[in-house]
Structures are given as C-alpha cells and as structure tokens.
Structure 1
Amino acid sequence: MAVEAEAATAPELALADTDINWARLDKTRFHIIGAFLFTAQSALLHPTAVVKTRMQVAGSSLSHMRGISVFKQILKTDGIPGIYRGFGTSAIGSLPGRVLALTSLEVSKDMMLKYTEGRDIPEATRVGIANGVAGMFSNLVCCVYYVPLEVIGQRLMVQGLPGTTVSSGPFDTVRKVIKAEGFRGLYRGFGLTAVTQSPASALWWGAYGAAQHIIWRSLGYRDEMNKKPSHMEMVTVQATAGMVAGACSSVITTPLDTVKTRLQVMDNCVVGRPSVLKTMRTLLKEYGWWGFYRGFGPRFLNMSLYGTTMIVTYELIKRLSVRQ
C-alpha cells in the first residue's frame, strides 16, 4: 500500500502539538527524509509481500502451503535474494511516487481544511473530512504511477512459476509486457485497484480513528481534561491503533487483492485475455470460496505491520521536517 492519509487526530487536547500542516514543513527535508524512511520500511515488509504473491498465483506448488512454509521454501531454494525479488524495482521506482504521494496528500488536506474553515462543522469532523478526502485523492493520483510499478514488481516476484514469463530484469519485463499486450498491459488491474483503494482507505482510517479514540478513553483521557500524554504514550497509542486498522482492513480487502494479483501476473498466451470474472471463476473452481483468501496470513501480517510502522514513521517524518 502507498501512504494513504495523515494520521487522524486523537482527542484534541492530546495531539494539538502534533498537528503539523503543509505550511510549517520544510518541503525539501520532508521529501528526502520521507523517501529514505519509507524505503527502509518497505525493505522490512517486502518479504511478506513476496510470500503473499507467491501463494496467490495459480499453478504454484506454494499456493497450497501455509505462509511460514512458503517463506522457508523460498529461503531454501533461492536464499535471501529470493525473498527480496522485485525489491530493487519497487524501491527505486517508488521514490518519485513517494514524492507524489506525500505532496498530493498534504496539499489536498491543507486545501480541504481551508475550504471548511469557518463553517458550522465540529472540529473533529472537519479534520476527519479533510483527512478522508486527502487520502482518497492521493490514492487516485498514485494509482496512475504505482500500478505499472506493481505489475512489474509482482512479475519479477513470481517469474519461473507456471503461467509466467522469465525476464532478465525490470526493463526486460516492461518490454515483454508491452510487446504482448501493448501499453495497457502495464495497467492490468488498474480499475480494480482504483475502485477498491478508496473504500479500503476509508475503512483503514475509520478503524484507526475508532481504535485510537477507544484507547485514549480507556487510558483515562477525556476531552475536558487538561492532562496531556507523553511522547511515548502518543507513539504507543498511534502504533497500536495503526496495527488494529491494518488488521481490520486486511480481512476485507484480501479477496480483491487476490483477484488483482492474478490479473497482473498471468500471461495472455497461457490463459487468454484475463478478466475479473474469469479470474474469480477460476479461483472458485480451484479452491472454493477460501481461494479468495490465499495469502491472507502474510497479507494480515503485512498490513498490520504496515499500519503500525506507517503511522509512526509518518509522524516522525513530519516532526523532523518542521521549519525551525
């Protein structure tokens, strides 16, 4: 998942000092630090994405195995490079995308806050609307950039499996996709990605906001109180809420992610021109309804860890990027 939205605020008394808007940021520092820290985060989570993708691909002997068994098998046959297949393409290719994501996110959020300023809307609702709109807008903008990158990265992860083509690297993968399907081949699953990311983002931030609110109140914080939490408390609450949100989101989005992954990695010459309905029928025929949850374990782990690390990392980036 690219960055979807800024952390929703907890009770105002608790997070007033963390409300860092676009105008207060040193833009150069913000993008440089953001690119570095989010690349490091991606490196930590990439193995779970490889395992998840391998489990979701048809015809793979790994598709019937549990996540931890798949991980061990990849290590046994391919070593450490095996669990980092496609990472170079993803890491380097994502750098411009991260700038695009962070900028579109912060600018659109800032515009929505200014647009709703002075209106008869509760402050918490106003901030929530701004975060939601910013998250959806940023997702739509980033889909244009990230879907081709995802197609290339996933093909590199699964190459050599039945129904896939072996290539010598990312550029060779691009050449073969364009040769076989034209430029639109790089945008396989674009519609499904764009349509599902918006509700997935809403679900993520809804779960995050609700979890954070419940945690703050369970710790004894109330809107009318002047007590403020420590930095460690804020980080812990944000991380826990992010983990809960990621876990909830993975339950809802895994079926669509499985269909999308199959659409993006299979070749026309093997399966004919793929479609969403054809892919769903194949999954039902091969595995039954549980087939839509192939790779759920690694995805659950990936999104839970992503939610936790993304929130903590993003808040840290903004604090480090405040103009002095």
Structure 2
Amino acid sequence: MIREDDPQFRITPVQQMASACSGALITSLFMTPLDVVKIRLQAQQKALLSNKCYLYCNGLMEHLCPCGETAWIPRRVHFHGTFDAFYKITKLEGVTALWSGLSPTLVLALPCTVIYFVSYEQLRYKMKTTYNNVTGTMSQPMWIPLIAGATARMTAVTLVSPVELIRTKMQSKKLTYSEIKTALGQVLKYEGYRGLFRGLGSTLLRDVPFSGIYWTTFETTKKVFDKPDSEKNSFLFNFFCGSVAGSIAAFITLPFDVVKTHQQIELGEKEIYTDGRIKQRASNMQDIAKSIYRNHGIKGLFTGFLPRIFKVAPACAIMIATFEYGKQFFRKYNSQKYKEKMQSEGVDIEIIKCD
C-alpha cells in the first residue's frame, strides 16, 4: 500500500506552473470588477485632476494610471456609490466593461505569479527535505516557509522589475510594440540598465516582509486546527487560512505599503508626464515616512487599513485556495498514472487516501 501523499507523487514544476496560472486567472476574474468600480469612483473626485495618478490593483498586480488619460474611465456618468457604479457601468457599457484592463493584468501577473509560487514550492520542499534528513523527523519548522516565502518574492520582484516602467506607460495610454521599444530605449539612454530596476529597493521592503509573514501565518494556521489531511487540503479550508494569513500580513506591512504607494505615485507622475526624461527621482522611503509621521502621526502610516484588508484578504484567499486545489488535483493524477503503470506491468498496488 502507498499513501496518496507519498513524495514520489509530488507534482512537477510544470504542474505547479499550471496551478499558479489557474489561481492568477481566477483571482483576476473575481477582483478586477471591484477595482474597476473603485477607479471609476476615484476618477470623479475633485482631488484627482490632470497630471495626477492613482493605483489600479486587483490583488495581484498594481497598475499606475494617470487620471484623464486612461480610455476606459469615461467621465460623462456620475456615480452615487459602489452599487450605483456597478449598475450604471453594466447598463451603459455592458457587463464586459467590469473587466476593463484584464488583459494587461494577465500579461504581467501570470509570469510574476508563476515565478513566485513555483519558487516558493521548490525552496520550501528542498529546505524541508534537507531539514528532515538532518534531524530524522518529518516536521516543518516555521522558519522554512518564512525564508522560502521571502526568497521567492525577492526573486519574482527582481526578475519582473525591468517591466515596471513599460507597465506604467501601457496603463497610461495605448502603445504599439514599436512605441514600447522606444520607451525602453529612452530608459536605457538616460539612465542605463540601472534605470530598469528603478524602485526595486522600496518594492522589496514592502513585498518581501509581506510574503514571509504570509506564508508563515498560512502554514501555522493550517497546523493550529486539528483536522485530518483530507479536510486541511480542501478548497474552503485553504480559502480560510489564506484570508487569515493575508489579513495579518497586510496589517503588519501596511506602513510599508502606504509609503511605497506615495513614492510610486510621485515617481509615476514624473515618468508619465515627462515622457521618461526624469531629472529628479522620487523621494526615498525614509523621507516619505518621516513626512507622513510629521503631518499625520502614527495613524497616517496605517491609512487605508480596511480597504487594504478587503482587497488583499480575498485575493490571497482565492489565489492560495486555487493553487492548493490544483496541487491536490495533480497529486491525485500522478498517483493514478503510477497505479495504471504498475498494473500494466502486472504489479497490483493499492493507493490509500490521506486521513
């Protein structure tokens, strides 16, 4: 008899990629309409005038948009709240308008998500295997998901960092491939290859701690509940653990997010409205944090707590639940294929399910 969770049935990197892609797709499909409505409401506020930027984020990727230039934000309709916006957008522009901006989201989010989740799984498994071989146990200490999560996020953010400027340009206006190539050439001409990694440090300061805390909390939450493996691997249980982990990580790292948002908007305004010819960089994170604290106190660093939780928690929950479900599907697929192979060779085996 062989258990269904036997290491030989562990899913391959390609299967991990498929699981991550399905998670990113489903998360985008669910979260994009919420952000489209939020942006429409933001765009009609008096504070958002010309030469101002705002963030479009569906839980997977952030897109920096200039108010008044993005074609899918018309101003002729006035919205009186969230539900009114949903109703009027659907009625006047059709249901598909709620998924405006989905294509660039998927083009940019899928590679980053795949790198992130596959790197985490590979690192966690290798560290756990090494630890178990050394100690002779089958446990997983909490420092393993902490290190694996932080390292995986650092890898993903660094690899996709060169497309940050191009992404901003894509979100500000429609660009042809030749125009994108020209924009990339401008960055290389004025700032060299270092310009492709502009803002990487501040992004890492926000995303790496979030990732480490998220995965540590996720694995810990799963251990706290005394449930059989079959229930711990269910979609709903992973959804719950993902939302808890996302909420805690979002709260702890909120000051980093507030400061990073200020810096990203400041830098984005210069990038978009100076056509890439930037003579002055955005303020560093330390100066921005001091300015926020001086003007608004400690509360200023935790501005937008509830909106961030309501955005991050469901996005994290949907993504991890779908990813884990995909892993279980491929693990069962691998075990079934192994059983069929052994039976074709005349060996009768029994694969028992995990309790």
Which of the five TM-score ranges fits, normalised by the shorter chain?
0.5 to 0.7
Which TM-score applies when normalising by structure 1?
0.67
Tell me which residue corresponds to 2:281: 273
Task: Label 1:121 to 1:189 Cα distance change in 2 as closer, same or farther (>3 A).
Answer: farther
The alpha-carbon distance between structure 1 residues 301 and 52, as it changes in their structure 2 partners (threshold 3 A), is farther
Partner of 2:76: none
- State how far apart, in whole Å, the 1-side matches of 2:137 and 2:302 are: 40
- What is the 5 A alignment of 1:224-303? 228=228, 230-231=230-231, 234-264=234-264, 265-267=268-270, 269=274, 272-275=280-283, 276-280=285-289, 283=292, 289-303=298-312
Q: Indicate the RMSD between aligned Cα atoms, in angstroms.
A: 4.4
TM value normalised by structure 2: 0.62
The alignment-based identity, stated in percent, is: 19
**1:108 maps to which residue?**
123
Distance 1:173 1:258 in 2: 29
In structure 1, the residue matched to 2:66 is none
Larger Rg: 2
Q: CA deviation at 1:190?
A: 1.0
Structure 1 position 280, deviation (Å): 3.6
How far 1:246 moved relative to its partner? 1.1
Q: How big is the shift at 1:104?
A: 2.1
User: Would the aligned equivalents of 2:239 and 2:321 in 1 still touch at CA under 8 Å?
Assistant: yes
CA distance in 2, matches of 1:92, 1:69: 32
- Contact 1:37 1:313 survives alignment (8 Å): yes
Alpha-carbon separation, structure 2, partners of 1:299 and 1:20 = 39
| Distance change (3 Å), C-alpha of 1:87 and 1:261 | farther
Shift of 1:292: 3.7
Equivalent positions of 1:1-324 (< 5 A) are 24-48=10-34, 51=38, 60=48, 84=99, 86-120=101-135, 123-126=138-141, 128-149=142-163, 152-153=166-167, 159=172, 167-169=173-175, 172=179, 175-176=182-183, 179=186, 182=191, 183-214=193-224, 216-217=225-226, 228=228, 230-231=230-231, 234-264=234-264, 265-267=268-270, 269=274, 272-275=280-283, 276-280=285-289, 283=292, 289-322=298-331, 323=334, 324=337
Shift of 1:73: 8.8
Return the alpha-carbon distance in structure 2 between the equivalents of residues 94 and 104 of structure 1. Answer: 15
Alignment check: 8 A CA contact 2:21 2:110 kept: yes
Which consecutive unaligned segments of at least 5 residues does structure 2 have? Answer: 55-78, 338-355
1:98–1:110 Cα change, 3 Å: same
Deviates more, 1:251-260 or 1:183-192: 183-192
Q: Could you give the per-residue CA deviations for residues 228-272 of structure 1, whole angstroms, max 9, x where no partner exists? A: 365488433322222111111221222222322332323165994
For residues 183-234 of structure 1, the C-alpha deviation after alignment (integer angstroms, 9 at most, x for no partner) is: 54443331122233332223223333443344x24xxx5xxxxxx3654884
1:32 Cα deviation after fit: 3.2
The aligned residue for residue 3 of structure 1 is none
- Give yes or no for contact 2:246–2:312 (8 Å, CA) kept in 1: yes
Please report how far the alpha carbon of residue 318 of structure 1 lies from its aligned counterpart in structure 2 after TM superposition: 0.9
Larger RCO: 1 or 2 (CA < 8 Å, sep 6+):
1
Q: Per the alignment, do residues 213 and 313 of structure 1 end up closer, same or farther by CA in structure 2, a change over 3 Å counting?
A: same
Conserved 8 A contact 1:86-1:156 = no
Query: What's the CA shift for 1:142?
Result: 0.2
Would you say how many aligned residue pairs link Structure 1 and Structure 2?
Answer: 286
Distance verdict in 2 for CA 1:199–1:179, change over 3 Å: same
